[in-house]
């Protein structure tokens, strides 16, 4: 029986089908250490790391003795040196489908929370005298009638657009390739150049993968273009924003607020962000529901099952 190693102790329900066909080994604690993985990998046929677990050359060298597939638990795979894996003949896959709806759901939640100042008011109302009640106190912004600018109009961006339309928002987007006329009509969306989008939108949502081209896609120059009432939401990858520039923009009032699920140096968060009332923070929580975690596990399992059956219908990324 072929053997599958998991880097992290995950919910077992999603791996039920995999366990029928493979020996699946979970760590007894939350995760295996790096040294433990390097020692264990030569005895396994497949490896499932979580999206935050670095799989570098040293680990891949250990894996290459037997591992044929690395089925990443998550859609992002910048934790894996996929080019070196390809050189070693190791297939790398990801799990794009299960993350679409929950990530869009959280992006909308961050938009609403930042616009209506929900976390700030929730925190202050618990403290006696923490806030002042009144008709003109604790004012936020409405999303109805506002313009949402989506950077990265892939499946997550489109899922967010669908939700934003239900909130009565207007959709503009920036993408390397224009959507089909039918899709643009579905989302009532207009494609703009990046600078035009940034300068005109009321809410900017980042939904693009992290690449060399998108690193610091939003920096000081772009933040200065935005409306002073604008809100920026990032559920993509932290380094898509220059975090130091974002702190400056929030402190200086170049923009009104931010909703962040990802950070440039996570799990470390720039201390200034922790001190601001106009920032809503989540701990890289885009897919953190029980339903989604189990669905990601099933998807990662299917990649392994299909690979060893000799099938091509896997989500290969290298």
The residue behind tokens 């992002």 is 76
| Active-site entry in 34, 155, 220, 284 | 284
How wide is the angle at C-alpha 67 spanned by C-alphas 63 and 69, nearest 5°? 115
Specify whether 237 is catalytic: yes
| Active-site entry in 266, 293, 298, 316 | 266
Residue 231, C-beta contacts closer than 8 angstroms, at least 6 positions apart: 111, 114, 115, 141, 202, 203, 204, 255, 256, 257, 258, 259
CB burial of 205-236 (b: ≥16 within 10 Å; e: otherwise) equals bbbbebeeebeebbbeebbebbbeebbbbbbb
Specify whether 284 is catalytic: yes
**What are the tokens at 101?**
């709806």
User: E strands within the chain?
Assistant: 3-6, 23-25, 46-48, 69-71, 91-93, 147-151, 170-174, 189-191, 203-206, 231-234, 257-260, 279-281
| Active-site entry in 237, 243, 264, 295 | 237
Cis peptide bond N-terminal to 267, omega within 30: yes
Q: Which residues are catalytic?
A: 237, 266, 284
């Amino acid at each position: 029986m072929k053997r599958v190693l998991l880097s992290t102790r995950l919910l077992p329900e999603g791996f039920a089908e995999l366990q029928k066909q493979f020996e699946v080994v979970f760590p007894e604690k939350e995760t295996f250490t790096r040294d433990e993985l390097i020692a264990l990998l030569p005895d396994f046929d497949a490896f499932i790391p979580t999206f935050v677990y670095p799989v570098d050359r040293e680990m891949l060298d250990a894996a290459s003795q037997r591992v044929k597939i690395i089925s990443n638990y998550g859609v992002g795979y910048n934790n894996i040196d996929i080019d070196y894996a390809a050189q070693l003949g190791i297939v790398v896959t990801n799990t794009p489908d299960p993350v679409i709806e929950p990530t869009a759901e959280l992006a909308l939640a961050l938009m609403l929370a930042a616009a209506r100042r929900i976390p700030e008011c929730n925190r202050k109302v618990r403290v006696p005298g923490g806030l002042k009640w009144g008709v003109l106190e604790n004012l936020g912004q409405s999303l109805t009638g506002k313009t949402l600018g989506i950077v990265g109009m892939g499946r997550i961006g489109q899922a967010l657009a669908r939700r934003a339309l239900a909130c009565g928002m207007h959709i503009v987007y920036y993408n390397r390739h224009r959507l089909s006329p039918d899709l643009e009509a579905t989302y009532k969306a207009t494609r703009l150049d990046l600078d035009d989008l940034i300068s005109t939108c009321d809410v900017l949502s980042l939904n693009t993968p992290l690449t060399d081209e998108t690193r610091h896609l939003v920096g000081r120059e772009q933040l200065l273009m935005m409306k002073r009432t604008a809100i920026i939401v990032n559920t993509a990858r932290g380094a898509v924003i220059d975090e130091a520039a974002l702190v400056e923009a929030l402190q200086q009032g170049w923009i009104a607020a931010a909703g962040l699920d990802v950070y440039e140096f996570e799990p470390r968060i720039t201390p200034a962000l922790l001190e601001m009332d106009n920032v809503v923070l989540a701990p890289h929580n885009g897919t953190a529901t029980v339903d989604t975690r189990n669905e990601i596990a099933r998807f990662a399992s299917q990649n392994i099952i299909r690979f060893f059956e000799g099938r091509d219908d896997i989500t290969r990324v290298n």
